[in-house]
Amino acid sequence: MYNFAAGPAVLPAEVLRQVQSELISYKNSGMSVMEISHRSSLYTEMEAEAEADLRKLMSIPEDYDVLFLQGGATLQFAMAPLNLANRTRRIGFVDTGHWSQRAEEEAKLVTGIKAEVVASGEASNYTELPQAVELTENYDYLHLTLNNTIEGTMYKELPYTGKVPLVGDLSSNILGQEYNVTDFGMIYAGAQKNIGPAGLTVVVVKHSFFKDAPQLPAMLSYAKQAAKHSALNTPPVFAIYVAGLVFKWLVQQGGVAQMQQRNEAKAQLLYDYLDASQLFKSPVKKQWRSTTNVPFITGNQELDQRFIAQAQSNGLVNLKGHRLVGGMRASLYNAFPRTGVEKLVEFMQTFEETVRR
Ligand code: PLP
């Protein structure tokens, strides 16, 4: 069975096996990993190791804090403005589709914040991304969604390199595509795509970026979370534990560069077929195609539904596209095996032959 879900995504089989074995007794403690106290050294060592591995994988410098929070990427839509928009109180948004719009809407709900779209992919129905963004106003930061999970577009190069700090939503391609952390003031990602179980959100933020933040309720404050190593209240121990195992797996696999190479090769298999097919096509312009989320369509809704149902009975599951765009979508995160893409392409060929007969 191959699971093409956009989230929660597949985890490496080796990691699942280790989780299975430690579910009953973590490091011979006699306690399940879900039963260990977050005030015990078992936990603090586990958390420190996960952080160290993430720092290694993403080359995160010492002047950036790594936070393991809750609330999903969606909470960061509000937490980033609360903590980081303190001077002009204005935030620029690059409108790249659904998730960037959700981020902008939430920012606007924070009292006193002005959120402004500075560039948009709307004219192309989000099949292309704004390139070479220029800012004419001063903003506290520019928000960018690096991979658009629903539309299937991805920034491989940053569209802005000016002085205004970047805040990046990397929810659907963190650790699958190489970026320089130092090009950003802050990045965030919900864990449930390329990292581990839902319930954990990774935030990497430059320490000096939030130093002017006002007094905030503890759970909403980067400063207070950082001061307590993300254990201000009970942290999502199990999710952090699995994320730590995934980080170790990634290190063993050769790190982010290796993952990016594999992801590009996996996605290329599918895009090559889509470009040659008479039935299926990718709606996204080549330059902007995501390597982790690949939407495709036949242009005929009834045919799309038939394809999704038949794929499902052939063990290719969760290929239904997001309800906003319809069609199909294959999500190919780090742990998704190449053989799954090969099987999908084979199945698409057979389906296409049957339809054209
Ligand atoms: N940002 C992007 C790019 C996403 O793909 C998603 C979820 O799919 C979110 C934000 C929202 O994430 P969460 O469910 O963790 O709040």
The CATH number that applies at residue 212 is: 3.40.640.10
Answer whether 76 contacts ligand 1 (Cβ < 6 A): no
Question: pTM score, two decimals?
Answer: 0.98
Which whole number is the average pLDDT over 347-357? 95
On the question of pLDDT at 241 being above 90, the answer is yes
Q: Is the CB of 290 under 6 A from ligand 1?
A: no
Mutation test of ligand 1: which of 172, 290, 325 has the most ligand atoms closer than 8 Å to its C-beta? 172
Pick the atom of ligand 1 nearest to 145's CA.
Answer: 3
What's the confidence (pLDDT) of residue 136? 92
**243: which 2 tokens?**
């994320």
- Check whether 9 has a pLDDT greater than 90: no
Assess whether 131 and 228 both reside in one domain: yes
Our mutation pick for probing the ligand 1 site, out of 171, 187, 195, counting the most ligand atoms within 8 A of Cβ, is 171
Per-residue pLDDT for 192 more than 90? Answer: yes
266 within 8 A of 260, measured Cβ to Cβ: no
For the Cβ of 230 lying below 6 angstroms from any atom of ligand 1, the answer is no
Q: Rounded to the nearest whole angstrom, what is the distance from the C-alpha of residue 100 to the centroid of ligand 1?
A: 10
Query: Is residue 173 within 8 Å of residue 146, measured between CB atoms?
Result: yes
Please count the other Cβ atoms lying within 10 Å of the Cβ belonging to residue 62.
7
Q: Of the listed 95, 140, 169, 304, which one is catalytic?
A: 169
Is the domain of 241 the same as that of 317?
A: no
**Do 260 and 214 lie in a common domain?**
no
**Model confidence at 317: pLDDT above 90:** yes
For residue 171 and ligand 1, the question of a CB distance below 6 A is answered with yes
pLDDT of residue 356: 85
Helix (H, G, I), strand (E, B) or coil at 274: helix
Residue-level pLDDT at 159: 98
Residues above pLDDT 90, as percent of the chain: 97
- State yes or no: pLDDT of 13 exceeds 90: yes
pLDDT, position 301: 94
Q: Which residues pair with 67 in a beta bridge?
A: 203
End position of a domain, from candidates 196, 224, 253? 253
Binding residues: 39, 73-74, 99, 149, 169, 192, 233-234
Q: What is the pLDDT of residues 101-137, one digit of tens each?
A: 999 999 999 999 999 999 999 999 999 999 999 999 9
**Number of domains the chain is built from:** 2
246/282 same-domain check = no
| Confidence at residue 164, expressed as pLDDT on a 0 to 100 scale | 98
Say whether both 213 and 293 belong to one domain. Answer: no
Closest residue to atom 15 of ligand 1, CA basis = 72
Q: Give how far Cα 58 sits from Cα of 55, 65, 137, 179, 300, Å.
A: 5, 13, 31, 8, 42
Section 183-209 average pLDDT: 97
pLDDT(233) > 90: yes
Q: What is the mean pLDDT of the chain?
A: 97
- Which of 253, 279, 309 corresponds to the end of one domain? 253
- For 167, counting Cβ atoms within 10 Å of its Cβ (0-12 exposed, 13-18 middle, 19+ buried), the class is buried
| 44 C-beta closer than 6 A to ligand 1 | no
Range of the domain at 64: 13-253
For residue 114, list its beta bridge partners. 90
Average pLDDT over residues 139-155: 98
The CA distances from residue 40 to 35, 176, 182, 233, 236, in Å, are: 11, 32, 33, 14, 14
Catalytic residue among 193, 206, 266, 320: 193
Q: Does residue 34 sit in the same domain as residue 176?
A: yes
Give the pLDDT confidence of 47-79 residue by residue, as tens digits: 999 999 999 999 999 999 999 999 999 999 999
Q: What is the pLDDT of residue 357?
A: 85
Which tokens belong to 189? 């990602």
User: Is residue 106 located within the same domain as residue 47?
Assistant: yes
Among residues 213, 228, 253, the one where a domain terminates is 253
Summarised one tens digit per residue, pLDDT across range 268-313 is: 999 999 999 999 999 999 999 999 999 999 999 999 999 999 999 9
Whether 310 is in the pocket of ligand 1, judged by its Cβ within 6 Å, is no
DSSP state of 250: H
CATH of the domain at 290: 3.90.1150.10
Per the listing, tokens 């590009």 go with 264
Q: How far apart are CA 94 and CA 304, in angstroms?
A: 31
Mean pLDDT within 155-167: 97
Q: Are residues 230 and 263 in the same domain?
A: no
Q: Is the pLDDT of residue 222 over 90?
A: yes
What spacing in Å lies between the alpha carbon of 102 and ligand 1's midpoint?
9
Task: Using most ligand atoms within 8 A of CB, pick from 76, 96, 99 the residue to mutate for ligand 1.
Answer: 99
pLDDT at site 293: 98
Q: Is 193 a catalytic residue?
A: yes
Give the number of other CB atoms < 10 A from CB of residue 132. 9
169 labelled catalytic: yes
